[in-house]
Amino acid sequence: MTADLPSADFEARLANAAALVEAVLDEALAEAPLSGEIVRPDRLLTAMRHGVLAGGKRLRPFLVMESARLFGVPEERSVAAAAALELVHCYSLVHDDLPAMDDDDLRRGRPTVHKAYDEATAILVGDALQTLAFALVAAPGCHPDPAVRCELVLELARASGIGGMAGGQMLDLAAEGRFADGAPLPLADPDIRRLQAMKTGALIRFACLAGALIGGADGQGRAALTGFGETVGLAFQIADDLIDLEGDAESAGKATGKDAARGKATLVSIKGADWARDELTRLLATASGQLAPFGEKAAVLLETARFVAFRSA
């Protein structure tokens, strides 16, 4: 497989899904309080919208919707869960950008929330986005079957919590030497893979599993999409590390060169850029095998994996 440019059909499909998700996010972040709410403070709401409605490819929601499509689920029946996942992702970015974490000033080409507003507001933005995400998943509009909604809530909580994304961020901070003598920890290959599978991969894995849950997939279908999600998650992180190593802030929409500046070990820094490109090709072959049971119906998902592996931002 090569780094071919995405097809026009794929780009149109990705853009259409992003627009559908954007509409749900815009509605979820409307000014009027919902039942059970008292008032939505203007500064908090405006900052939440700054952190969420800033464009972007909406890749994780796209994976939810395309995975559900394998089982005949139309986009309008999977978009709520897709938008909920994007809210969790956006909350994580807002908190990761804080000075106490990654200390970034730029996100998607715009000032990060704590730079555009302040640190306290950014913390509350993350808190509110996380709870809003679970409200979307738990609401009847997400799926007509309460058991499916409960399973989505459970899996999203595990993917984003102590054994998933949040735990991965803790391991990442520890690897930078935050809690020892200040020196970065010399992580081995398995340690890095575990960290990245949690911090980055867990939400991507959930995206694919969520589509299977929404579509009523059997155990084999769930396993295939879960494995595919894990493969795409690793490919995403390796591609991200390549961008950090070789890219520039203008094209990436965020600061680059951060890992090297912090002396943090990544698979790319240990094994090199040439290895990374070869590994991405290998991962795409793995992804193709994992999607083989679905035949041609999975063509868009496979192109998504290729897009993830060879993106430049």
Total domain count for the chain? 1
Q: Which domain range does residue 241 map to?
A: 8-309
Whether pLDDT at 291 is above 80: yes
Residue located via tokens 């084999």: 220
| 76-117 tens-digit pLDDT | 999 999 999 999 999 999 999 999 999 999 998 899 999 999
The closest alpha carbon to 19, from 86, 73, 69, 95, belongs to 86
**240 lies in a domain?**
yes
* Residue 1, domain member (yes or no): no
In the block, which residue shows the tokens 């911090």? 199
Contact 78, 211 (CB under 8 A): yes
Q: Is 203 within a domain?
A: yes
Tell me the average pLDDT of the chain. 92
pLDDT tens track for 214-230: 999 999 999 999 999 99
Q: Which are the contacts of 182, defined by CB distance < 8 A and separation ≥ 6?
A: none
Q: What is the pLDDT of residue 247?
A: 66
Output the pTM of the full model.
0.93
Query: Higher confidence at residue 244 or residue 198?
Result: 198
- On whether the CB atoms of residues 116 and 50 are closer than 8 A, the answer is yes
Instruction: Answer yes or no: is 3 within a domain.
Output: no
The tokens for 164 are 């998933």
Percentage of the chain lying above the pLDDT 70 cut: 93
CA atoms within 13 A on the CB side of 154: 7
pLDDT score of 245:
85
Could you tell me the two tokens for 129? 């986005």
pLDDT category of residue 1 using cuts at 50, 70 and 90: very low
CATH (domain of 213): 1.10.600.10
Has residue 51 been placed in a domain?
yes
> In angstroms, what CA-CA distances link 213 with 65, 88, 137, 149, 241?
11, 18, 12, 9, 31
Is the pLDDT at 211 greater than 90, yes or no? yes
Count the neighbouring beta carbons within 10 Å of the beta carbon of residue 118: 12
Of residues 270, 244, 267, 268, the one with CA closest to residue 255: 244
Q: Does 167 reside within a domain?
A: yes
pLDDT in tens, 31-42: 999 999 999 999
Q: Provide mean pLDDT across the span 136-144.
A: 97
Q: Is 74 contained in some domain?
A: yes
Residue where the block lists tokens 């956006």 = 90
Q: Is residue 142 part of a domain?
A: yes
pLDDT of residue 178: 87
